[in-house]
Amino acid sequence: MDILIKGAIVITQDSKRRIVKHDILIRENKIEKVQEKIDEKAELVIDAKNRIAMPGLINMHTHVAMTLFRGYGEGLPLDRWLKEKIWPMEAKETGADAHVAAQLAMIEMIRSGTTAFNEMCLLGAKEIGKAAEEAGVRGHVCQGLFDLLPGRTIKGELAVMKDTAFPKSGLVSYGVGPHAVYTCSEELLRKSKEFAIKEKRKVHIHVSETRKEVFDTQKKTGKRTFEYLDSLGLVDSDSLFAHSSWVTKKEISLAGKKKLNIIHCPVSNLKLATGGICPVFEYDKSGANVCIGTDSVASNNSLNMFESMKLASLLQKHKYWKADIIPYSRILDFATRNGAQALGIDCGRIEQGALADIVLLKPGPNMTPMHDPVSNIIYAANPSNVTDVIINGRPVMVEGKIKTLDEGAVLARAQELSREIQAR
C-alpha cells in the first residue's frame, strides 16, 4: 500500500539528525521520498499536521512469552517469586499460550511506538514469530538455551538450538540464545557461537546483570564475564549483550574496540534491585553500540520504550551526578538507529530508501508546548500520544486502532488464559 504522510514534524534520525516539517511518501515497504511537499496519489493519506513522525522504537531485549505473568506474585522476595510463582507458571505454559502472550505483547508494543523487538524465549519461538508476523511487527526471536539447569543436557540443548533455527519468514528472523554464563556450559556457549557463525545468525545472551554473576564467573573461570566470553569466541558485533551492567573499564574498552551491541534495560535492573547501573555513558564514549530494552513484563512491568528511554537518560545523570552527561538526543539514537544497526536491519531513520517503520505522535497536553520535539519524546511522551504505526510500509495502527489483530479478542483471551494456566 502506498502511504502519504502530510506535513509532519519529521524526526529524521538521519546522519545530521535533521528535524524538518515534511511530507513522507511510502511505497511498498520503503520510504520513497521525504520532501517539503509531495503531491502524489496514495491509497492512504494521513494528515499529520502538528504531529511528530519518528522512526519506530526498537526494543532490544524482551521475553514476550512472559507477558501473561504481568504482576503475578508481585512483591515477593526475588527467590520466592521465582520459585513459587514464575517458574511453576512457566513450566505449565505451552507454545500455544506463548502465541497468545506474544499477541498481547505485540499490541502493547505497537501502542507504545515499538516497531521491532529482540526476544529470548523459554519456549514457543515459532509461535512468537507467528504472532509477530500476524501483528506485522519486526522480530528477532531466539530460543533460550540452558544446559546447566536441572533436567537439561548439552545434547538436548544443541538439538533445540538446531530445531529452532528457523529460516527468516516475513518480518521475523531467528537467532541463537545461550541464556547466560551461569546457565550454559563452556561447550554450549562455544557451540552456540560456532553454529551462529555457520548459519549467519546473531547470538543473544544475558551478561553481567548481577554482581553475583560476575563474582561466580570470576571464581569459576578466573575471568570477568566479558573476558570469559571473549576467550570462548562470543565477543563480537554479531552478538547482542543484554544488561552488561557490572563491568570493569577494561571490559568497556573491549566493548568499544569490538563495537559490541550493549543492551541497557534500566527499568528491569532497578525492579530486580541488581544494584549496578549500566555505565551507558562510558560504553557510548568507547564506541560500543548502545541499545535499550524493556526486558519482560515480569520485571518491568510494561513494554513501554518511552519509559525505558526516559529512565535510561535519568539514570546516567544520577550515576555520574551530572545532568548533562549524555545528550538526550543520543538516547533516541540508542532506541532507533543503534537498535537497527544491532539487528542489521535498514530501519531506525526516516530517509529515502530506508524501510518504512514510522510512528506518528499527537502531542497532547503532555507534549505541549513543543520547544523541542526530541526533548518531548524522551522526557514527556507516553503511549497516549501514539496515533499511527507503520511497519515495513504496512499501517498496523491507524488513528489509534490496531489493524492487524483483533485487540478485544486478544485481551480477553489473554486474561482468560492467564487464569487457566494458574489452574492447571
Region 70-129 residues binding its own copies, contact defined as CB under 8 A: 70-78, 81, 104, 107-108, 111-112
Q: Please pick, from the candidates 38, 230, 382, 398, the single residue that binds its own copies as defined by CB under 8 A.
A: 382
Number of amino acids touching its own copies (CB under 8 A):
73
Q: How far is the CB of 275 from its own copies (least distance, A)?
A: 5
CA dist 270 and 264 (Å) reads: 12
Using the rule CB under 8 A, is 401 a contact of its own copies? no
Q: How far is the CB of 415 from its own copies (least distance, A)?
A: 5
Q: Which of 387, 381, 385, 402 is nearest to 335 (CA)?
A: 381
CA dist 179 and 189 (Å) reads: 9
Using the rule CB under 8 A, is 24 a contact of its own copies? no
Q: Which amino acid is at 309?
A: M
CA dist 171 and 132 (Å) reads: 8
Residue 360 pairs in a beta bridge with 53, 388
Q: Please pick, from the candidates 6, 33, 317, 403, the single residue that binds its own copies as defined by CB under 8 A.
A: 317
Q: How far is the CB of 402 from its own copies (least distance, A)?
A: 9
401 Cα distance to chain centroid: 23
Q: Please pick, from the candidates 156, 233, 344, 364, the single residue that binds its own copies as defined by CB under 8 A.
A: 364
Site for its own copies in 220-259 (CB under 8 A): none
* Per-position x/- string for 259-298, each x denoting binding to its own copies as judged by CB under 8 A, each - no binding: --------x-xxxxx-x-x-------------------x-
Q: Which is nearer to its own copies, 377 or 390 (CB)?
A: 377
Under 8 Å between Cβ of 115 and 138: yes
- 3-class state of residue 202 by DSSP: coil
Q: How far is the CB of 130 from its own copies (least distance, A)?
A: 18
Using the rule CB under 8 A, is 314 a contact of its own copies? yes
Q: Which of 207, 191, 140, 148 is nearest to 168 (CA)?
A: 140
CA dist 293 and 283 (Å) reads: 16
Q: How far is the CB of 336 from its own copies (least distance, A)?
A: 18
Q: Which is nearer to its own copies, 12 or 269 (CB)?
A: 269
Q: What are phi and psi of 417, to 5 degrees?
A: -65, -35
Using the Cα atoms of residue 98, residue 99, residue 101 and residue 106 in order, give the sign of their dihedral. Answer: positive
Q: Please pick, from the candidates 68, 123, 278, 355, the single residue that binds its own copies as defined by CB under 8 A.
A: 68
